[in-house]
């Protein structure tokens, strides 16, 4: 006997003692309620409050350039240094941040600015924060799929496991899944086997493993099979509001915390700062940026409507002066003439619109001229 029991096994032809041994070897352990009766149950511990539970894989997704890498490195730094960030008090523990996308120089640049923002000397992180670039390496995949669907752990997986055990890391950020998983992201079985391998590593080490990934083009918060979301116990998403330049992290899946919790913060000199903690000058600049972007959007929105209606507008004061016409349109959304004038100057400076352009011929066959979008602009 090899210790396994097949469904079609004829137990009548097996020695009773041998069958008992096989059944015992294959038994599923259940909770011992008698032993647990005197043990006080505890909620799931979190390495990063709200976001990343200990001993679990957390999926962290968001569009390119939204700030996933920076946030992951900043969270790892705060944990390693034992300082709060974004009002998240994580205590202190060793942390790992591995990237397959940024080189050593970029990591050093980010780290220096993160440390400055957190008030942490870079040298104090030695032995606590373990940051490495795997960019350009050809063996970053954590496992391979065999033709029979069997998932085989790779050298990279064992190397990662050894690093976690050696450092005692309680936070491991892996950036990103596209480099670590080489299977078909739409194959539920392949995705589940890959995530389960990381779940086992997280469970055995007690570390919170954060797996960074991208959303798909359809607007879902993750790319590929729904198994990506089903196989993890927590997930959070980062979004970048281009108008205000603010970032918002939202808890998407939360088996151990409250779904929908949010953090809103801004990028300030290569680090993230909570909106309420922004210095007055930075808050003022962000407000001005948001106001300017809203003005630009309103101008382009009104210009598009006028173009659609066959109304040519001009940059010159007169009966068809664009800022005056736009201010009276419902699409202006209470934007006033001076704000449209400022927006027009900005858009001209950005080469998004042009003046005195040939637009179309009127009923009198005369060419109408006015403001229009630069080809490829807006």
Q: Residue 98 maps to which CATH number?
A: 3.40.50.300
Is 28 a member of any domain? no
Q: How many domains are contained in the chain?
A: 2
On whether both 120 and 248 belong to a single domain, the answer is yes
Domain end residue (candidates: 256, 277, 298): 277
Q: Which of 306, 331, 330 is nearest to 320 (CA)?
A: 306
Q: Would you state the pLDDT for residue 220? A: 60
Determine the pLDDT at residue 6: 36
One domain, residues 251 and 114: yes
Which among 260, 277, 294 is the end of a domain? 277
* Residue 10 in domain: no
Angle between helices 188-205 and 155-167 (to 10 degrees): 20
253, 317: one domain? no
Task: Please state the separation of Cα 283 from the chain's center in Å.
Answer: 24
Task: Identify whether 2 is part of a domain.
Answer: no
| Shared-domain flag, residues 268 and 359 | no
pLDDT, residue 13, reads 53
Are residues 321 and 268 part of one domain?
Answer: no
Q: From the centroid of its chain, how far is CA 160?
A: 22
222 within 8 A of 228, measured Cβ to Cβ? yes
Cross-strand pairs, 52: 48
Give me the long-range contacts of 8-12 (CB less than 8 A, separation at least 24).
none
Predicted local distance difference test score (pLDDT) of residue 1: 37
Judgement on whether residues 94 and 149 belong to the same structural domain of the protein? yes
Check residue 354 and give its pLDDT.
Answer: 94
CA angle 129/98/222 to nearest 5° reads 125
133 part of a folded domain: yes
Residue at which a domain ends, from 277, 305, 334:
277
- Crossing angle (nearest 10°) for helices 337-349 and 280-309: 90
Domain interval for residue 315 = 284-373
In a domain, 101, yes or no: yes
Same domain for 162 and 113, yes or no, is yes
Residue 225 placed within a domain: yes
Same domain assignment for residues 55 and 113: yes
**Domain identity same for 289 and 339:** yes
Residue 20, in any domain of the structure: no
User: Is residue 336 a part of any domain in this protein?
Assistant: yes
- Intervals of the chain under pLDDT 70: 1-26, 216-225, 243, 282-284, 376-378
236 and 361, same domain (yes or no): no
Identify whether residues 63 and 149 lie together within a single domain. yes
Are 68 and 60 a contacting pair, CB within 8 Å? yes
Question: Are 270 and 319 within one domain?
Answer: no
Q: Is the Cβ–Cβ distance between 137 and 175 less than 8 Å?
A: no
Query: Sheet harboring 171-175: ordered strands across?
Result: 129-133, 95-99, 171-175, 208-213, 57-61, 234-241, 246-254, 262-267, 272-274
Please tell me the distance from the alpha carbon of residue 100 to that of residue 118, in angstroms, as a whole number.
25
The CA distance from 314 to 136, in Å, is 53
């Amino acid at each position: 006997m090899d210790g396994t029991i097949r469904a079609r096994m004829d137990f009548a032809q097996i020695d009773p003692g041998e069958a008992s041994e096989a059944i015992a070897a294959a038994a599923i352990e259940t909770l011992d309620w008698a032993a647990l009766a005197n043990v006080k149950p505890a909620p799931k511990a979190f390495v990063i409050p709200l976001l990343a539970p200990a001993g679990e894989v957390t999926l962290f997704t968001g569009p390119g350039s939204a700030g996933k890498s920076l946030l992951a490195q900043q969270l790892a730094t705060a944990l390693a240094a034992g300082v709060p960030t974004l009002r998240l008090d994580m205590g202190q523990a060793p942390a790992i941040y591995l990237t397959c996308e940024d080189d050593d120089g970029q990591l050093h640049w980010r780290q220096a600015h993160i440390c400055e923002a957190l008030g942490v000397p870079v040298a104090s992180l030695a032995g606590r924060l373990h940051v490495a670039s795997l960019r350009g390496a050809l063996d970053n995949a954590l496992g391979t799929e065999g033709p029979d669907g069997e998932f085989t752990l790779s050298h990279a997986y064992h190397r990662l496991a050894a690093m976690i055990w050696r450092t005692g890391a309680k936070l491991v950020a892996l950036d990103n899944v596209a480099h670590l998983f080489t299977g078909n992201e739409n194959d539920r079985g392949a995705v589940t086997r890959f995530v389960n391998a990381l779940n086992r590593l997280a469970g055995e080490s007690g570390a919170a493993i954060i797996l960074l990934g991208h959303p798909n083009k359809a607007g879902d918060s993750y790319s590929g099979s729904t198994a990506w979301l089903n196989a993890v116990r927590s997930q959070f998403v980062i979004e970048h509001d281009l108008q205000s330049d603010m970032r918002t992290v939202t808890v998407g899946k939360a088996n151990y915390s409250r779904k929908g919790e949010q953090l809103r913060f801004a990028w300030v000199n290569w680090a993230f700062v909570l909106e309420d903690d922004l210095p007055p000058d930075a808050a003022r600049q962000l407000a001005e940026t948001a106001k300017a972007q809203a003005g630009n959007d309103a101008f382009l929105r009104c210009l598009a409507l006028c173009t659609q209606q066959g109304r040519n507008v001009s940059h010159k004061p007169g009966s068809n002066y664009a800022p005056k016409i736009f201010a009276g349109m419902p699409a202006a959304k209470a934007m006033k003439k001076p704000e449209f004038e400022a927006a027009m100057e900005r858009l001209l400076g950005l080469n998004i619109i042009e003046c005195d352009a040939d637009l179309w011929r009127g009923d009198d066959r005369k060419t109408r001229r006015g403001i229009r979008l630069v080809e490829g602009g807006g």
